[in-house]
């Protein structure tokens, strides 16, 4: 068997295993919580919502499981695109100011409009993320141009710092705004519903389309910008398509659950250690790993917190940091 065929077969097998892992974590997420539900009980609740267990399954377990899968998948792919665009192994989707822009927009909505609607918050977060990304892109374009990923990273860091400062000023100026912001910014699946997820799904699907269209460019950019240009790559178009993918995927995730870190940073590195750096395989692998990782951390937060469960954002920060350090120490962090 030719080596390329064997490699593709191995990578396909890895994706199948990762898919099965997502399925297992989905079942675990439906079963485990403050109360353990057996498989039969979960099935009863799913198919007969009128029973008492149905309110638990459909009212809590199903929404947070669906959102966990959705958010983890989006952030995993966004992280892979981000690291491929910047060729920075420490890059995270938040570096483009997406999370900071979404946070500021939500705070402005509460501070100025007094809104607390989930749907309104969703649209505000999406708009804020999009505006922040456009500003970052514009600032980078005014500098050294877009042939190098460095201006994008610097512009993203600077804009994010400014947006965070403005957000801090607003939340510290008004107690009502601070209370609403504290609930949103913690990054949690608890208490979330599927309201507004249809709108977020449309943005996520568009982001996936842009990510798929960016795969060839990401593989070329991995060779270096000069060589990519020599291969006929349009760098401006590649950056624009990648920026659109990162913005749409991250914004749709952040708008639903609030900022959640480490998924976009860690999932692509685990993916590279399993399937290599070819983005045709890396993007789906990163998405599946992100979905499983987020659900796993959410389940851990439910179990260790009891009635006062620990937010998935907190669990993910602790465990994600440990996993990432382990990857680095074992030398499995792939060069970009």
Q: Which pLDDT band holds residue 330 (cuts at 50, 70, 90)?
A: low
**Between vectors from CA 160 to CA 154 and to CA 165, what angle results, nearest 5°?**
130
| Per-residue pLDDT at 1 | 46
Tokens 């796993």: give the residue. Answer: 296
Residue 39 lies in a domain: yes
Q: pLDDT tens digits, residue range 289-299? A: 999 999 999 88
Residue 334 lies in a domain: no
Residue 237 lies in a domain: yes
Give mean pLDDT, residues 267-291.
93
Which are the contacts of 269, defined by CB distance < 8 A and separation ≥ 6?
89, 324, 327, 332, 333, 334
Query: Can you tell me the distance from the alpha carbon of 26 to that of 21, in angstroms, rounded to the nearest whole number?
Result: 9
What is the radius of gyration, based on Cα positions, of the chain? 20
Residue 259 lies in a domain: yes
Residue 103 lies in a domain: yes
Nearest of 129, 81, 116, 76 to residue 252 by alpha carbon: 129
Residue 336 lies in a domain: no
The pLDDT of residue 283 is above 70: yes
Whichever domain contains 102, its CATH number is: 1.10.3470.10
Q: What percent of the chain has pLDDT over 90?
A: 24
Query: Can you tell me the distance from the alpha carbon of 46 to that of 205, in angstroms, rounded to the nearest whole number?
Result: 26
Helix ranges, the chain (H): 3-31, 39-47, 52-56, 62-86, 98-108, 118-142, 150-173, 175-185, 197-213, 215-221, 225-230, 235-257, 263-275, 279-305, 312-329
Query: Can you tell me the distance from the alpha carbon of 297 to that of 312, in angstroms, rounded to the nearest whole number?
Result: 6
Q: Does pTM surpass 0.75?
A: yes
Q: Positive or negative, the Cα torsion across 110, 115, 117, 121? A: negative
Cβ neighbourhood burial of 94 (10 Å; 0-12, 13-18, 19+) = buried
Q: Which pLDDT band holds residue 317 (cuts at 50, 70, 90)?
A: confident
Q: How many CB atoms lie within 10 A of CB 107?
A: 26
Could you list the residue range(s) of the whole structural domain that residue 33 is in? 3-329
The structural domain count of the chain equals 1
Query: Can you tell me the distance from the alpha carbon of 326 to that of 336, in angstroms, rounded to the nearest whole number?
Result: 19
Residue 194 lies in a domain: yes
Give mean pLDDT, residues 220-245.
82
| Per-residue pLDDT at 224 | 78
Cβ neighbourhood burial of 98 (10 Å; 0-12, 13-18, 19+) = buried
The pLDDT of residue 323 is above 60: yes
Residue 85 lies in a domain: yes
Is the Cβ–Cβ distance between 28 and 298 less than 8 Å? Answer: no
Q: pLDDT tens digits, residue range 84-140? A: 888 777 777 777 788 888 888 888 888 887 776 767 777 888 888 888 888 887 787
| Per-residue pLDDT at 19 | 95
């Amino acid at each position: 068997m030719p080596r390329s065929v064997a490699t593709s077969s191995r990578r396909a097998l890895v994706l199948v295993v990762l898919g099965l892992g997502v399925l297992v974590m989905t079942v675990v997420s439906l079963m485990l919580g403050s109360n353990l539900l057996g498989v039969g009980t979960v099935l009863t609740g799913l198919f007969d919502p009128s029973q008492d267990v149905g309110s638990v399954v459909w009212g809590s377990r199903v929404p947070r499981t669906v959102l966990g899968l959705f958010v983890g998948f989006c952030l995993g792919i966004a992280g892979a695109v981000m690291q491929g665009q910047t060729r920075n192994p420490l890059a995270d989707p938040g570096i483009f100011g997406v999370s900071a822009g979404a946070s500021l927009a939500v705070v402005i909505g509460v501070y100025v409009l007094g809104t607390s609607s989930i749907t309104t918050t969703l649209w505000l977060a999406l708009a804020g993320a999009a505006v922040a990304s456009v500003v970052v892109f514009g600032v980078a374009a005014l500098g050294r141009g877009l042939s190098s990923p460095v201006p994008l990273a610097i512009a993203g860091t600077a804009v994010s710092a400014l947006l965070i400062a403005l957000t801090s000023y607003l939340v510290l100026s008004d107690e009502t705004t601070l209370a609403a912001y504290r609930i949103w910014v913690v990054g949690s699946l608890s208490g979330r519903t599927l309201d507004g997820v249809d709108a977020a799904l449309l943005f996520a699907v568009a982001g996936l389309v842009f990510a798929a269209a960016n795969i060839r460019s990401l593989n070329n950019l991995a060779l270096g910008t000069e060589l990519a240009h020599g291969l006929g790559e349009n760098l401006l178009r590649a950056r624009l398509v990648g920026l659109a993918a990162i913005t749409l995927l991250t914004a749709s995730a952040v708008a639903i659950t609030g900022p959640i870190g480490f998924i976009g940073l860690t999932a692509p590195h685990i993916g590279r250690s399993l399937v290599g750096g070819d983005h045709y395989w890396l993007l789906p692998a990163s998405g599946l790993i992100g979905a499983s990782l987020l659900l796993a951390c959410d389940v851990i937060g439910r179990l260790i917190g009891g009635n006062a469960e620990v937010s998935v954002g907190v669990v993910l920060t602790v465990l994600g940091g440990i996993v990432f350090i382990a990857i680095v120490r074992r030398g499995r962090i792939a060069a970009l």
